[in-house]
Chains A and B, each alone.
Chain A
Amino acid sequence: MKSIQSIERAAAILTLLSGPARRMGVVEIAGELDLAKATAHGILRTLTQVGFVEQDPESSKYQLGAALLHIGSSYLDGNELRTRALNWSDSLASRTNEAVRIGTLHDGQVLVVHHVFRPDDTRQVLEVGALLPAHASALGKMLLAHHSYAAAECIKAGLPRYTPKTIVDAAELRRELEETRDRGWAVDLEELVSDEAAYAAPIKDRRGDTVGAIGIAGPAERLCVKGKTRSDLAASVREAARSISRELGALPG
């Protein structure tokens, strides 16, 4: 099959810019790839327009653009996330005296990548690797709130009921996700298991993308007051999420 020459050349330029030099002028690039300067310039202009390449205004040199970095997706290895979050999830467990979980989105569900026991020395089983329904858990709602595509997929796949309080109506879920995003934390009030409640907050990376969520879960009688959420617990969860985000290089705020 015949390949398209200009795409090949564009790819060569991107590969070159991802190499050790990082920043190169148009003459340098043309020389390196044996292209006419005008040809190199034309390709660079197109790549700049779509954001795959940026031109440094001072030196006029070219470098890889932010749009390209985003294409690498906001994927963060779950094992890496657990490692980076270890101290802060421990801290959250001891501050709230509740079990802590960290989840990431995985095929429309929440994959538990980290679990810290409720620190009361009772017998508990490690739940790393377990899957939770996204629309019926605090972790899931937090993640869906920041991933509209996943939320749409989730709604399309159907919203099964787990308790009388599970949100099974698409419009209601959309409203809930919007509120969750605005509020900055998610809550599950007996939506997955009766008499159990949970809180969650988003973990962001250095680009501000939500790469996971951290939360606590436990009996509703401890996690709620007269059926209402406890702002102190939500604050602790958010604080832990912020600390982990900072660990991942996210800017404060």
Chain B
Amino acid sequence: MVIQQYVASVDQGTASSRCIVFDHAARVVSVSQKEHHHIFPRPGWVEHDPLELLNNVQTVVRNALEYAQLEARDIAALGITNQRETTVLWDRETGEPAYNAVNWQDMRTDHLVRELGGEVGQNRFRDLCGLPLATYFSGPKIRWLLDHVDGLSERAESGDLLFGTIDSWLIWKLTGRHVTDPTNASRTMLMNLRTLEWDDELLDAMGVPRAMLPEICSSAEVYGEATGSLEGVPVAAALGDQSAALIGQTCFERGEGKCTYGTGSFLLLNTGDAPVQSANGLLTTVAYKLGSRPAAYALEGSIANTGALVQWFRDNVGLISTAPEIETLALTVEDNGGCYFVPAFAGLFAPHWRDDARGVITGLTGYITKGHLARAVLEATAWQTREVLEAMNSDAKVRLEILRVDGGMTANNLLMQFLADVLDVPVVRPLVAETPSLGAAYAAGLAVNFWPDLETLRGHWHRAAEWRPKMDPALRAKGYRKWQKAVQRALDWVDEDDDD
């Protein structure tokens, strides 16, 4: 009998799909990554081709195995982590997608969510599902598709049409089972946060037929065996990317938290086995549910536009040719020159939740150069983190003493140092920056006893870099004041007739 030495994990993200193979000591053995297309049919709409996502996942899995000269039989389990909320509908019989995947950033449900809020407003369902009504979440996206695409409504009622977030779509294609996990289900606005079951009141309100929904399993159990290049490998974890990152950072205790810096950025704080309602505009979400153990909950602060802002600066402004060059450009100047950039391209997330906001660049003078703009772009990420962290400290009644960070932007030293400076806490990067992948591997590994317990996983966490605050407190206070003034200038920009 072969003793398997490796766990594979797939991270199907907003920008790309990635497969990483980890060994027993949680070291990266092999990586393969592939970007996919974004489809923009109209302003504010963002879609992917579900089949392209699936093909890319299969490609990166095959490549990752090949790079490490491994075969399916060397892999103990596969974990899946994914961009959350992105919505796929497909035919139960043919497996054909009924429509493109509607991305979490897509704003077509703008009017719909306002309608759903009615008299009560955006917090109408907050007690049940932990979320405010906003365009990101899957439930309203399903409703929109059923209303606007011919024939879907009937097929949904009859059970011919299936819904899934990306985890469900991939697992269904890999194993034939229609399942999801509570972390993904908690982003649909259709799941009751306490029972972890689909909630009739929410289904009624959104008009989503129960027949199209996947079964909610735990985040770490064997859902089935894979086909394709992973033939026979147990598919044993499904986690939304942020939950996976929390596990990858081994934030298993109440009061432990992390921030992942990617396209958007997400600060999650483990609040233990009970959901905490936020008074400051944060989301309440399921952190993870590992097998038969009780679920852990988290408070989440999301920042819409961080890495995406750098990409925008690269692609739409064209002052840099690769994202990392922003650091080089920013280092051509000493400071931001008084320039602040509030990247409210699609409104502001936590703690403001203002969809009437749009981006502004303030403090412009004749002195400002492209270097100052690059600084302002990077600093926007840090200031937004500070807003979210303050909200979180207040809701959870604990002060985060150290910020564990991960994600691609942690390669940006200037940003990480500035983050430590404006938060006034040490910022620490662990040895594996790809924590969503690691977290999904951990969950899958726990499910098949590749790793025995959480303590073992904790032992793998090591500090790879640390940035300590060194900014003059007066400068910090002034910068934050200016940032808050800049935010005020971004609000109340959108008018009723802007869609016309």
Stretch at the interface among B116-124, B224-232, B243-251, B464-472: B464-472
* Residues of B contacting A83 in the complex (Cβ-Cβ under 8 angstroms): 323-324, 408, 411-412
* Residues of A contacting B412 in the complex (Cβ-Cβ under 8 angstroms): 79, 83
- Identify the closest chain B residue to A129 (Cβ): B413
Cβ-neighbour of A119 out of B324, B326, B434, B463 (below 8 A):
B463
Q: Nearest Cβ distance between residue A54 and chain B, in whole angstroms?
A: 24
**Binary interface encoding of chain A residues 109-131 relative to chain B, with 1 for a CB under 8 A from any of its CBs, else 0:** 00000011101110010101100
* Residues of A contacting B327 in the complex (Cβ-Cβ under 8 angstroms): 79
Report the count of interface residues on B (CB-CB < 8 A).
29
CB-based contact A86/B325 at 8 Å: no
Q: With A86-B411, A95-B27 known to touch, is A77 a contact of B325 (CB < 8 Å)?
A: yes
Whole-angstrom CA separation of A126 from B416 in the bound complex: 11
CB-based contact B324/A82 at 8 Å: yes
Q: Is A90 an interface residue (CB 8 A)?
A: yes
Whole-angstrom CA separation of A175 from B408 in the bound complex: 41
Q: Is A91 an interface residue (CB 8 A)?
A: yes
Q: Is B322 an interface residue (CB 8 A)?
A: yes
**Binary interface encoding of chain B residues 376-417 relative to chain A, with 1 for a CB under 8 A from any of its CBs, else 0:** 000000000000000000000000000000001011110000
Q: Is B433 an interface residue (CB 8 A)?
A: yes
Q: Nearest Cβ distance between residue A252 and chain B, in whole angstroms?
A: 10
Q: Is B475 an interface residue (CB 8 A)?
A: no
CB-based contact A87/B323 at 8 Å: no
Q: Is B431 an interface residue (CB 8 A)?
A: yes
Q: Nearest Cβ distance between residue B451 and chain A, in whole angstroms?
A: 16
- Chain A, interface size category, equals 20 to 34
CB-based contact B325/A124 at 8 Å: no
CB-based contact A94/B466 at 8 Å: no
* Residues of A contacting B26 in the complex (Cβ-Cβ under 8 angstroms): 94
CB-based contact B411/A82 at 8 Å: yes
CB-based contact B462/A119 at 8 Å: yes
Q: Is B328 an interface residue (CB 8 A)?
A: yes
Q: Is A78 an interface residue (CB 8 A)?
A: yes
Q: Is A93 an interface residue (CB 8 A)?
A: yes
Whole-angstrom CA separation of A95 from B31 in the bound complex: 16
Q: With A80-B324, A87-B31, A94-B27 known to touch, is A121 a contact of B466 (CB < 8 Å)?
A: no
* Residues of A contacting B410 in the complex (Cβ-Cβ under 8 angstroms): 86
Q: With A83-B323, A119-B431 known to touch, is A126 a contact of B463 (CB < 8 Å)?
A: no
- Identify the closest chain A residue to B432 (Cβ): A90
* Residues of B contacting A128 in the complex (Cβ-Cβ under 8 angstroms): 413
Q: Nearest Cβ distance between residue B434 and chain A, in whole angstroms?
A: 6
* Residues of B contacting A121 in the complex (Cβ-Cβ under 8 angstroms): 462-463
Q: Is B25 an interface residue (CB 8 A)?
A: yes
Q: Is B28 an interface residue (CB 8 A)?
A: yes
Q: Nearest Cβ distance between residue A104 and chain B, in whole angstroms?
A: 12
CB-based contact A90/B431 at 8 Å: yes
User: Quick one: which of B13-48 are within 8 Å of A by CB?
Assistant: 20, 25-29, 31
Whole-angstrom CA separation of A78 from B28 in the bound complex: 23
Q: With A77-B328, A126-B467 known to touch, is A87 a contact of B462 (CB < 8 Å)?
A: no
Whole-angstrom CA separation of A124 from B463 in the bound complex: 9
CB-based contact B462/A120 at 8 Å: yes
Whole-angstrom CA separation of A122 from B25 in the bound complex: 19
Q: With A79-B327, A90-B431 known to touch, is A126 a contact of B465 (CB < 8 Å)?
A: yes
- Identify the closest chain B residue to A89 (Cβ): B464
* Residues of B contacting A120 in the complex (Cβ-Cβ under 8 angstroms): 462
CB-based contact B433/A86 at 8 Å: yes
* Residues of A contacting B328 in the complex (Cβ-Cβ under 8 angstroms): 77-79
CB-based contact B25/A94 at 8 Å: yes
Whole-angstrom CA separation of A78 from B20 in the bound complex: 25
Cβ-neighbour of A91 out of B28, B323, B326 (below 8 A):
B28
Mind listing 26 A-B residue pairs with CB under 8 Å?
Answer: A77-B328, A78-B328, A79-B324, A79-B326, A79-B411, A80-B324, A86-B410, A86-B433, A87-B28, A87-B433, A90-B432, A90-B464, A93-B431, A94-B25, A94-B431, A94-B462, A115-B465, A117-B462, A117-B463, A117-B465, A119-B431, A119-B462, A121-B463, A124-B463, A124-B466, A126-B465
A residues with a Cβ closer than 8 A to B are 77-80, 82-83, 86-88, 90-91, 93-95, 115-117, 119-121, 124, 126, 128-129
Q: Which 5 A-B residue pairings sit nearest by Cβ, starting from the closest?
A: A119-B462, A79-B324, A80-B324, A83-B411, A79-B327
B residues with a Cβ closer than 8 A to A are 20, 25-29, 31, 322-328, 408, 410-413, 431-434, 462-467
